[in-house]
Amino acid sequence: MVIYSALVVFSIFFSFFFDLWGILLVFLLLGWGVFKLKKIPAVFSPLLLLLLFEIFKIFVVKDAFNHLTFILELYIYFFYFLLGFYYGARKFLFVILSFAILPFFSFFYHLNINILSGFIVVLIAYVWLTDLTSEIKIPLTFLGLFYILRSFSLTAFFILALSFAFVRKRFFILVLLLLAGGIFVARSSLFERLLWISETIRIFLKNPLGVGFFSIKNYLAEVSFQGTIFTHSFLFQFLAEAGIISFLLLLFFLSKVSKIVLPERRFSFWVCLLSFLFDFSVYYTGIGALLFFVMGASCNKKSCINSRISLFIFKGIYIPLLAAAFVLFSISRNFAEGNYYLVKGMPEKANFYYEKSLPFPEYPALNAARALTKLLLYDKTGDKETFDFACDLLKKAIVYKSEKNPVWRMYEEGKKNKNSLKLKESAARILFLEGINLNDKVTR
């Protein structure tokens, strides 16, 4: 228990940067805990069905690499739910370690304030599940609130305030008035978030079975969302990315869990639910694992029956997913090496590393990078086959093929006019959405 508590903390150092190093490390260390499991509650069954359904979708989604990456994260989350469910939150080593790293992230590294605040919110929920005395819990809570208010992260403050109001109903009106004032102050941010959510719902209505995990960024980047990769609501983004079937399975799981939450732990459970609804930090491995752990620790395990089938399935898919994690890691390392040489202006060497990657799972960003190297080589040689091959790769790399998508428009214009500059700009935008910002020397 202590090992896995510390593991969540240290995984945050990796997972805040969307690096497969962190996911692979955590996934490797889960093995011992997974095979040590002797039972799994029946309430867990909807999550397993969700996981299996999304695994089968790897073969149909357009960005299988990122889809599979989040499936690995989901498996980690579900394991931490079981860890919290069976072992509770009595150990407070995690709390000490977590608060100890807050100054590093806040003052020294200047981590995104919304991500940091999302972590602190769930951390406060964890504090109130431990056996620490109120004399320790209250100062730690105010310390967390200090970081949140210092960052002016109203979403995080709203989650905590509403969770408190749902538990202490006599303060409900007071909290609502306080929140109304906060909404008025941050109304422009609120309208922006509502716009993102409305766009997400539109994407879902056009793709009811989901566009694939981490793929919504390709759809939000139509006109005014070119720098946005999240909806800022895990539930709404999950709806668009996973589709209606997995979304209903998730809701079914949450409804079942809500019935077995211990009365004295409702505050922590409400924090988890509202974080799902109002925050996007669940997508970061360390935060998501902690949130599911808190949710599991909020439950009354004595009121549940166990499922042998669920236990067999959960253990059975660990090895295949571990193998998949190594494949993803290998692809990501070749991709990173290729990007290094691409930025250095060495397309031949960059292409060497790109070509070493396995063709499956499909990775649009890798195809965009390969297309970019081919276009740079075409600029030197003028070879028509190289140009055509680059166009084919770039077409595969564009997830959302629509005139509304500027990336697709640039591709069509560049291919029609044999304009390698337009095609390179199209490839560079795809890479930008993946967090890779190329310099002008590469794309010009």
Phi-psi region of 363 (alpha: psi -120 to 50; beta: other; left: phi over 0): beta
Residue 177 neighbours by CB distance under 10 Å: 10
> What is the residue type of 1?
M
**Tokens 């595969």 found at:** 396
Residues whose CB falls within 8 Å of the CB of residue 312, separated by 6 or more in sequence, listed in order: none
Sign of dihedral through CA atoms 295, 296, 300, 305?
A: positive
Distances (CA, A) of 421 to 77, 223, 258, 328, 383: 43, 21, 55, 31, 16
By the 8 A CB rule, do 163 and 270 touch? yes
What values do phi and psi take at 170, rounded to 5? -70, -15
- CA 123 to mean position of chain CA atoms: 18
Q: Which two tokens stand for residue 350?
A: 């960059």
- Residue 50: what pLDDT? 96
Rounded average pLDDT per 10-residue block, the chain, 444 residues: 57 55 79 86 92 95 94 92 81 59 54 78 87 83 83 82 82 69 64 81 92 89 56 90 96 93 92 89 82 90 81 93 93 91 88 90 93 91 91 93 87 91 90 78 60
CA 294/CA 305 separation, integer angstroms: 20
- Residue 225: what pLDDT? 46
**Tokens 């800022």 found at:** 232
Helix (H) or strand (E) holding 94: helix 93-103
Residue 7 neighbours by CB distance under 10 Å: 20
- Residue 68: what pLDDT? 95
By the 8 A CB rule, do 97 and 286 touch? no
Sign of dihedral through CA atoms 230, 235, 239, 242?
A: positive
**Tokens 């993102």 found at:** 196
What values do phi and psi take at 46, rounded to 5? -60, -35
What values do phi and psi take at 306, rounded to 5? -100, 160
> What is the residue type of 215?
S
> Prior bond to 361 cis, omega within 30?
yes
Helix (H) or strand (E) holding 206: helix 187-206
CA 29/CA 8 separation, integer angstroms: 11
Annotated domain spans of the chain: 2-316, 329-443
> What is the residue type of 312?
F
- Residue 29: what pLDDT? 80
- Residue 10: what pLDDT? 56
DSSP state of 108: I
Dihedral Cα 114, 119, 122, 125, nearest 10 deg: -110
